[in-house]
Amino acid sequence: MGRFVIVAYKPKPDMDQQLLAAVAKHLEVLRSEHLVTDKPAYVMRSADNTIVEVFEWRSAEAIHQAHGNPAVQALWADFGAACDYTPLANLAESQQMFAEFEPVVP
């Protein structure tokens, strides 16, 4: 059974474009490794410029497999250079009954 995740990427200073480039290739890499479903990802931006992504892993096992996959590790290194991961609770929008975000087209 699939596992939906919601992740928030806070760009490091002057790394907005690098972060968007990593997000744009994120599902492509995960799909090529058969780790995510064919469902589209949703990418959005918070008021403080944090990028929020929603996507579906194939399974909990796929998440586990990603941690030992060289292609995924290389991609995650790109993310690590471009952003810091932040809990959703740190976003002002998450404090609202209906969290609203600006859509991003990767």
Instruction: Give the Cα separation of 33 and 26 in Å (integer).
Output: 11
Contact 78, 12 (CB under 8 A): no
Counted domains in the chain: 1
Question: Which CATH number fits the domain that encloses residue 56?
Answer: 3.30.70.100
Domain holding 88, by residue range, is 3-103
pLDDT by residue for the chain (106 residues), tens only, comes to 899 999 999 999 999 999 999 999 999 999 999 999 999 999 999 999 999 999 999 999 999 999 999 999 999 999 999 999 999 999 999 999 999 999 997 5
- The model carries a pTM of 0.93
What per-residue confidence (pLDDT) applies to 58?
97
Instruction: Give the Cα separation of 49 and 12 in Å (integer).
Output: 10
